[in-house]
Amino acid sequence: MTKATKIAVLGGGNGAHAMAADLTLKGYEVNICEAPEFKEAFSTTLERQAIDLIDVWGEKHTVKLNMATTNFAQALKGVNYIMMAVPAIGAKSFFSSIVPYLEEGQTIIKWSGNFSALLFANILKEKGVNQIQPAVRFELTTGGLRNRCSTPELHWHLKLNLNFLIPLC
């Protein structure tokens, strides 16, 4: 990833907040987006547009985000990567919500698997994206956000030129 990389982190829990703060501190432009039905629980992040993070040395950092929102269209516009830090139970709702706002060339990474790629492919088909041509390849990488994990990733190339990655460990 280059310094010009723009990332949307979807989800409003601890994992999404930690991921958004970590990526921002690494120099990426990060939007965090929670589902509108959880707006009240996400209100502090929405109001502050920042995340307080305490690092491993006990130092507190206030990390200013590019954007915190409950609007999927705003969060996904122009991003290179979409990091979905939502539990498997929330995948279907998030997938259905983001389909209208996906852009060519975006890479989607779903951090909890549970057959998410198949679920997403079916949702795309239901939404009228029938030209799905997944090309599956497995890569061993070391996840920067998942320490000490060799992550085989299921990489989907869709007709929309979207990439879909699922860490399988």
Which CATH number belongs to the domain containing residue 29 in this structure? 3.40.50.720
Domain of 105? 6-167
pLDDT of residue 130: 58
- Phi, psi for residue 32 in degrees, rounded to 5: -110, 135
Number of domains the chain is built from: 1
pTM above 0.85, yes or no: no
Is residue 151 within a helix (H) or strand (E), and if so which, with residue range?
Answer: strand 150-157
pLDDT digits (tens, 9 = 90+) for 91-138: 889 888 998 898 877 888 877 666 777 777 788 788 776 554 443 333
pLDDT higher for 85 or 160? 85
79, part of any domain: yes
Q: Which one-letter amino acid corresponds to residue 109?
A: I
User: Which is it for strands 163-167 and 138-142: parallel, antiparallel or unpaired?
Assistant: unpaired
27, part of any domain: yes
1, part of any domain: no
The mean pLDDT of the chain is 77
Indicate if the pLDDT at residue 14 is higher than 50: yes
**Do residues 106 and 81 make contact, with C-beta atoms less than 8 angstroms apart?**
yes
Measure Cα distances from 138 to 113, 115, 117, 144 in Å. Answer: 14, 15, 14, 18
